[in-house]
Structure 1
Amino acid sequence: MSIKLIAIDIDGTLLTPERTISPNVQQTIQTAKEKGVKIVLCTGRPLAGVRAYLKALNLEEKGDYVLTYNGALAQESDSGKVLAHHTMSMDDFYEIEEMSRKVGVHLHTTTIDAMYTANRDISAYTVREAFIVELPLKFRTVEEMDKDLTISKMMMIDDPAILDAAVEKIPQWFKDKYTVLRSEPFFLEILNKSASKGQALKSLAEILHLEPAEIMAIGDNENDLDMIEYAGVGVAMGNAIPKVKEAANIITDTNVNDGVATVIQEYLS
């Protein structure tokens, strides 16, 4: 069965370490789209932080899709129309914020149009993330948070060693209640239990009437794991973490050496 959709993670996969798309990867994706293959970027970023890459890859036309916030939000690329949005409530916010303080790490909260932090000593990782995803960063105390906010995800962030220790303190009931995943050594993402890249990819496949065997998914980190397991062809980057490589059907080259282009060219030649 031929590949009809390719789901591609952005950071550590599509992008080089310098956060650029190499000419080889760009041309390969263009060629795949011209052959009728749907290219879907799947990312923890919001749509604002993906727009430049969608434009560069000509993925803003009718019939193009993007999965953002690690699968919490599925959208049409051209219009931004929401197909599915798995959000969290303010009760979730209070519970997660309290847990972050118990385990001793920074936290920020992300909506469709902004990032919020209640930490007066704002984490450098939060500042970095706001810059990368192109969202305004707002300081609000817990009491000042707008109770009508629609929360897409929350993130515990800190130096890797501090975050490692914090993760060990998080109780199992919390991990059972939410989707909890490590997207970077310094990021622990917390989402609605129904949100993940794999679940979003499955929903999109059902809308498009595609079977898993017709889908390739390419990624490098823990938040890519369930979409790689769902796809008929799961691809781990050469720079992927061991857990992702173990789950994948194929290990391609690194993001330094155009691993995305290598595996797409292999399957579409």
Structure 2
Amino acid sequence: MTIKLVAVDIDGTLITDDRKITSEVFEAIQDAKEQGVKVVITTGRPIAGVQDLLTELNLKDEGDYVITFNGALVQDTATRQDIVKDALVYEDYLEIEFLSRQLGVHMHAITKEGIYTANRNIGKYTIHEATLVGMPVFYRTPEEMTDKEIVKIMMIDEPSILDEAIANIPPAFYDKYTIVKSKPFYLEIINKTASKGSAIVHLAEKLGISMKETMAIGDEENDRAMLEVVGTPVVMENGVDSIKSLARHITKSNNESGVAYAIREWVLK
């Protein structure tokens, strides 16, 4: 079956540990695009945090798309038109913010414009996220968040603290929201209807591409939903063991241009 759409995660997948795109990965993506394959960056990052990568990879032309916020936002990269937008409402924010205080973990909310935290002592992983995605951080009380269009909320803290908090999240929250752990210090919470998997399904339908003709490449638990729905799931060699069982193929690591290897072996041959 010919692959017509390739969904590619960023951190731990597309880029190396020092946040670079290798020449091999760049060239493989250009070759795939030249052959008419849709290469779609699919990430937990906010839209502002992917613009430089889209420019670097020449993925901002007519007919190019990007999936951000773990599937809560799908955009046409040329026009920036929203194709899918599954935001959280203010009541969701209040509920999750209150829970974070009960659990004793730092939390921030992300819009298209910035990162907002009600923690007076701003957590170091909030600063880390802001630096990673190039977004400003704002301190706002919960009462000041009424007019914000929140796409994603993150609980962020030291891994041991976060793991203890996760163990105490009420089961009802998992029924109400999509909750995924993307890093040892990141727990991401989005609209229940949103996931990387649902975003890919929606985009493939829009483009007239069958799911048998799709591939996804990822490395972490927040890639599970897309790996479960595509025809050809590929996991990085450096990926977590819990998702390697989903893979049809294991590619090389992110530091060894694993995305390029996957595209050349299972898309372009």
The TM-score bracket by the shorter chain reads: over 0.9
Residue 257 of structure 1 corresponds to which residue in structure 2? 256
Q: Shift of residue 143 of structure 1? A: 2.3
Letter in 2 for 1:227: M
Partners of 1:94 and 1:261 lie apart in 2 by 43
Give the alignment's Cα RMSD to 1 decimal.
0.8
Partner of 2:168: 169
- 2:156 is matched with 157
Which range is displaced more, 127-136 or 217-226?
127-136
The structural deviation recorded for 1:17 is 0.2
Deviations 1:53-87, CA, capped at 9 Å, x for gaps? 11111100000000011100000011111011001
Superposed CA offset, 1:93-143 (max 9, x none): 000001111111000000111110000110111011111111111001122
SS at match of 2:141: coil
The residue type equivalent to 1:79 in the other structure is T
Specify the code of the residue in structure 1 equivalent to 2:26. Q
Q: Write the letter of the residue equivalent to 1:12.
A: G
Separation in structure 2 between the aligned mates of residue 128 and residue 79 of structure 1, nearest angstrom = 29
Provide, for residues 32-69 of structure 1, a one-character-per-residue CA deviation record: whole Å limited to 9, x for no partner.
Answer: 11111110000111221111111111100000000011
Q: C-alpha distance in 2, partners of 1:57/1:149?
A: 31
Query: What does residue 201 of structure 2 align with?
Result: 202
Instruction: Name the counterpart of 1:33.
Output: 33
Asked if 1:212 is matched to 2:177, the reply is: no
Whole-angstrom distance in 1 between the partners of 2:224 and 2:115? 25
1:99 maps to what in 2?
A: 99
For 2:3 and 2:122, locate their aligned partners in 1 and report how far apart those are by CA, in whole Å. Answer: 44
Amino acid at match of 2:196: K
Inter-partner Cα distance in structure 1 for 2:141 and 2:102: 17
Of the structure 1 ranges 244-253 and 197-206, higher mean CA displacement relative to structure 2 is found in 244-253
Residue 44 of structure 2 aligns with which residue? 44
1:81 aligns with 2:70: no
Alignment of 1:182-261 (within 5 A): 182-261=181-260
Letter in 1 for 2:254: N
- Looking at structure 1, the residues matched to 10 and 44 of structure 2 have their Cα atoms a distance apart, in angstroms, of 9
SS in 1 for 2:32: helix
Name the structure 1 match of 2:143. Answer: 143
Matching residue of 1:124 = 124
Which runs of structure 2 are paired with 1:50-69 in the superposition (5 Å)?
50-69=50-69
Q: Could you tell me the TM-score, scaled by structure 2's length?
A: 0.98
**Matched residue of 2:26: which SS?**
helix
Q: Structure 2 CA distance, aligned partners of 1:116 and 1:38? A: 33
SS in 2 for 1:126: helix
**Percent of residue pairs bearing the same amino acid type:** 50
SS of 1:100 mapped into structure 2 = helix
AA aligned to 1:215 is T
Letter of the structure 2 residue corresponding to residue 15 of structure 1: I
Deviation of 1:149 after TM superposition, in Å, equals: 1.2
SS state at 2:98 partner:
helix
Which SS does the other structure have where 1:63 is aligned?
A: coil
- Aligned twin of 2:15: 15
- Looking at structure 2, the residues matched to 143 and 35 of structure 1 have their Cα atoms a distance apart, in angstroms, of 51
The worse-fitting range, judged by mean Cα deviation, of 59-68 and 133-142 is 133-142
Q: Map Cα deviations across residues 134-182 of structure 1 (whole Å, 9 max, x no partner).
A: 111100112232x121110100000011101100000100111100000
Helix, strand or coil at the partner of 1:173: helix
Give the distance between the partners of 2:247 and 2:120, measured in 1 at CA. 41
TM-score by length of 1: 0.98
The aligned amino acid for 1:190 is I
